[in-house]
Structure 1
Amino acid sequence: MHSSSSNLLQALLTNPDFIAWSNGDRPEDDVKWNKWAGDDLEKQETIAIAREVLESFQVAGPNMTDEHVTSKVSQALNTAKRIESEQNSRSISPFRRLNFTVWNVAATLVTLLGLALAIFGIYKNGHFKLDLKNNVSKIDDADTFTEVTNQDQAVKYVRLSDGSAIVLHKNSSIRFPKQFSGPVREVFLTGDAFFEITKNPEQPFFVYANELVAKVHGTSFSIKAGQSDSKVIVAVKTGKVSVFSKNDLKADQYKKDKALQALVLTPNQQATLERSQFKLSRLALSSPILLNIPIENQDFTFSETPVKDVFEALEKAYGIHIDFNRETLAQCSITATLGDEPLENKLKWICTILEAEYAVREDKITIKGNPCNNYSPEP
């Protein structure tokens, strides 16, 4: 299956809005999905396939048995296989250029769905909800959301529109809106990352990482959430973080209430979610180091520190290059405690001390300032 088609199919099959529309629950969304597909043959074909696979996986309700789940999985697999067979038998098809091979991806998806239902008894427990947001691929306008992946760097700096900073570990990705709007800020993590969140109690910040949801107002913490890991772990460096399972019966309440609730973590505390059981536990730590990256044990306290050393510390911690004129700023030094503020807040304070300016472009920060012969006192 062509990679873009596979991603598109997976996104549709895990999109709550699409599933509801496909099941006939939202006829008012006909215009929305027809407009989304437009004249794009790939999208039209993928919608048709996704609807047929979902139709074959209709469930009977909260009292369904494991045998019924198994039957539905088998039915969905047969549907996927038949679709592939029909496509292969077409002599002339406008979709032939899509290189669509449905079997592998569709079989994998419905098998995982079946296993999840059988193992966790979601339907039998009567609290399966399609409207709870989670960290699955979703169909969104590319102009609205951004996804950043760190494939080869030890750490990679990611800036959010509210000024929050994310230090993304190697082989990890983060998905987030280009601009935060509405009552909450939400991002979706796959892998490991360190967060420094801009304080805003009126607009809580949510991180969705596998089955775990972390809710914060403004603080710094690490999350370890590899796709194949059996656990999701959160370690708090500063501030407070509230964590809960997305399967929690009170998940919607935790989201809507602006106050921190659920399991609250304070500095040097760690929470672990056992993914197979949705079980959360809390542990006290001697230090908040979880990912073994520099920023976790850096307190950003400087005393008459040459500015080049300050910038080198920031480069190492955030995985971003800082370009400045070493000759011009050679005599400058910094005395300050910058703490857990996001990188841009640190830059603003440093540039205020140096009477300089900064600009952030992709993976580089440029500092422009005038010579100085002394340092500013600690604030």
Structure 2
Amino acid sequence: MHSSSSNLLQALLTNPDFVAWANGGRPEDDVKWNNWAADDLEKLETIAIARELLESFQVANTNISNEHITNKVSQALNTAKRIESEQNLRRISPLRNLNFTVWNVAATLVTLLGLGLAIFGIYKNKHSETGLNSNVAKVEDADAFTKVINKDRAVKYVRLSDGSAIVLHKNSSISFPKQFTGPVREVFLTGDAFFEITKNPDQPFFVYANELVAKVHGTSFSIKAGQSESKVIVAVKTGKVSVFSKNDSKAEQYKKDKGLQAFLLTPNQQATFERSQFKLSRLALSSPILLNIPIENQDFTYSETPVKDIFSALEKAYGIHIQYNVETMSECSVTATLGDEPLENKLKWICTILEAEYAINDDQITIKGSPCK
């Protein structure tokens, strides 16, 4: 191809608007770029090559600055031009039979550059704090983080330091800090889970699931994010959830600005993220059932309900065991609407009504109370 095509490729790769669109962060710009290319074969080919090259950068997954990547891309393209010029001067080259063009060389160099950035990213992630562009559920600091894996149970209860509750599906894992000390709360999911997040507008909560990020202040929702799945799905039960791609050009803004919302979901709405295309779509639901686990369709509303029935429902919903004196509390009942509050908040309300006490030890809860009259 001509040098004009090479210049066009370089212009696209260093254009923030194009990069954001090509990475799936701006589906609203589809018309803009399709009209720009129109029936121009050179532009269409250049866009295709640029998108393919940008995919090679995704494996890097680091906090490398845009300026650094831009410089490296420019170096690769300039090297490709130089090689082509030298070949044209020599006219005869051992590589001639391979029909190398500036595009072959550029693609090779940039692909190798992507691998180099990936290696650099792995090294950098091991020596830096987990951030917006970190690998999901890959936490190197074992002292600061906890990782819980549910290998064989239908669901497993996970309690976070802020009281938030996670119901972890079978063959799934969740990584999280032992204490939330910074301006945000962040957890890293691999697989499927249901979340009940403690409300705290001053400390937004982020779930990283493959290439998708969910931002919440306090709500309940499900996420389906298997590593081998082509999609990441979020279904909201109560409250609001804002979702975006971690490659979105505004990703850092969404993280820093507590009030800034991305792709907003409300109760009984579902977002589907196409991982290969970096595209989000919204769907209205009749019910927010995504993982087919009991907690998704329970509203935890009770009217003079015997505690044995309440405790049984909580056991099924959270995958826990509740130990209590059945004979002593056989006459106890509860009238309350517990809603989407995390499990520990539900226990506080129940025990306040019953004038009882509770203790949590991993996934077993012990409740001690007096007889009800």
- What TM-score, normalized to structure 2? 0.68
* Distance in structure 1 (CA, Å) of the matches to 2:137 and 2:149: 14
**Are 1:146 and 2:146 matched, yes or no?**
yes
Residues 307 and 329 in structure 1, CA contact (< 8 A), matched pair in contact too? yes
**Are 1:182 and 2:182 matched, yes or no?**
yes
Residues 157 and 318 in structure 2, CA contact (< 8 A), matched pair in contact too? yes
Aligned to 2:367: 367
* Distance in structure 2 (CA, Å) of the matches to 1:339 and 1:139: 32
**Are 1:239 and 2:239 matched, yes or no?**
yes
Aligned to 1:60: 72
Residues 357 and 369 in structure 1, CA contact (< 8 A), matched pair in contact too? yes
After superposition, residues 225-264 of structure 1 pair within 5 angstroms as 225-264=225-264
After superposition, residues 3-42 of structure 1 pair within 5 angstroms as 16=62
* Distance in structure 2 (CA, Å) of the matches to 1:155 and 1:14: 33
Change in Cα spacing, 1:76 to 1:291, as seen in structure 2 (3 Å) is: closer
Aligned to 1:133: 133
* Distance in structure 2 (CA, Å) of the matches to 1:171 and 1:163: 23
* Distance in structure 1 (CA, Å) of the matches to 2:336 and 2:105: 64
Change in Cα spacing, 1:76 to 1:247, as seen in structure 2 (3 Å) is: closer
Change in Cα spacing, 1:249 to 1:372, as seen in structure 2 (3 Å) is: same
Residues 14 and 138 in structure 1, CA contact (< 8 A), matched pair in contact too? no
Measure how far apart 1:67 and its partner are: 5.1
Measure how far apart 1:16 and its partner are: 3.9
Aligned to 1:161: 161
**Are 1:173 and 2:185 matched, yes or no?**
no
* Distance in structure 2 (CA, Å) of the matches to 1:289 and 1:268: 9
Aligned to 1:285: 285
Residues 241 and 260 in structure 1, CA contact (< 8 A), matched pair in contact too? no
Change in Cα spacing, 1:76 to 1:210, as seen in structure 2 (3 Å) is: closer
Change in Cα spacing, 1:243 to 1:139, as seen in structure 2 (3 Å) is: closer
1:231-257 CA-to-partner distances (Å, cap 9, x unmatched) read: 101000000000001111111111111
- Secondary structure at 1:208's aligned position in 2? strand
**Are 1:349 and 2:362 matched, yes or no?**
no
- Secondary structure at 1:61's aligned position in 2? helix
In structure 1, the gaps of 5 or more residues are 1-12, 26-58, 80-108, 114-129, 374-379
* Distance in structure 2 (CA, Å) of the matches to 1:66 and 1:187: 41
Letter in 2 for 1:60: K
Residues 206 and 213 in structure 1, CA contact (< 8 A), matched pair in contact too? yes
Aligned to 1:54: none
Q: CA RMSD in A?
A: 2.9
Aligned to 2:320: 320
* Distance in structure 1 (CA, Å) of the matches to 2:248 and 2:104: 22
1:153-183 CA-to-partner distances (Å, cap 9, x unmatched) read: 0000000000000000000000000000111
- Secondary structure at 1:329's aligned position in 2? coil
Aligned to 1:35: none
Percentage identity across paired residues of the two chains: 76
- Secondary structure at 1:60's aligned position in 2? helix
Letter in 1 for 2:216: V
In structure 2, the gaps of 5 or more residues are 1-58, 78-102, 123-129
Measure how far apart 1:136 and its partner are: 3.6
**Are 1:311 and 2:323 matched, yes or no?**
no
Measure how far apart 1:138 and its partner are: 4.8
Residues 211 and 275 in structure 1, CA contact (< 8 A), matched pair in contact too? yes
Change in Cα spacing, 1:356 to 1:131, as seen in structure 2 (3 Å) is: closer
Residues 235 and 268 in structure 1, CA contact (< 8 A), matched pair in contact too? yes
Letter in 2 for 1:241: V
* Distance in structure 2 (CA, Å) of the matches to 1:308 and 1:366: 13
Letter in 2 for 1:148: V
Measure how far apart 1:14 and its partner are: 6.8
Change in Cα spacing, 1:332 to 1:133, as seen in structure 2 (3 Å) is: same
Aligned to 1:212: 212
* Distance in structure 2 (CA, Å) of the matches to 1:172 and 1:200: 26
* Distance in structure 2 (CA, Å) of the matches to 1:188 and 1:336: 33
* Distance in structure 1 (CA, Å) of the matches to 2:227 and 2:60: 16
Higher relative contact order (CA 8 A, sep 6+): 2
- Secondary structure at 1:309's aligned position in 2? helix
Change in Cα spacing, 1:243 to 1:76, as seen in structure 2 (3 Å) is: closer
Letter in 1 for 2:263: L
Residues 236 and 265 in structure 2, CA contact (< 8 A), matched pair in contact too? yes
* Distance in structure 1 (CA, Å) of the matches to 2:290 and 2:167: 13
After superposition, residues 80-159 of structure 1 pair within 5 angstroms as 132-136=132-136, 138=138, 140-159=140-159
Residues 301 and 337 in structure 1, CA contact (< 8 A), matched pair in contact too? yes
Residues 321 and 364 in structure 1, CA contact (< 8 A), matched pair in contact too? yes
Change in Cα spacing, 1:366 to 1:260, as seen in structure 2 (3 Å) is: farther
- What TM-score, normalized to structure 1? 0.67
Letter in 1 for 2:257: D
* Distance in structure 1 (CA, Å) of the matches to 2:315 and 2:275: 34
1:324-372 CA-to-partner distances (Å, cap 9, x unmatched) read: 1101111101111100000000000000011110011011011011111
1:304-323 CA-to-partner distances (Å, cap 9, x unmatched) read: 11101100000000001111
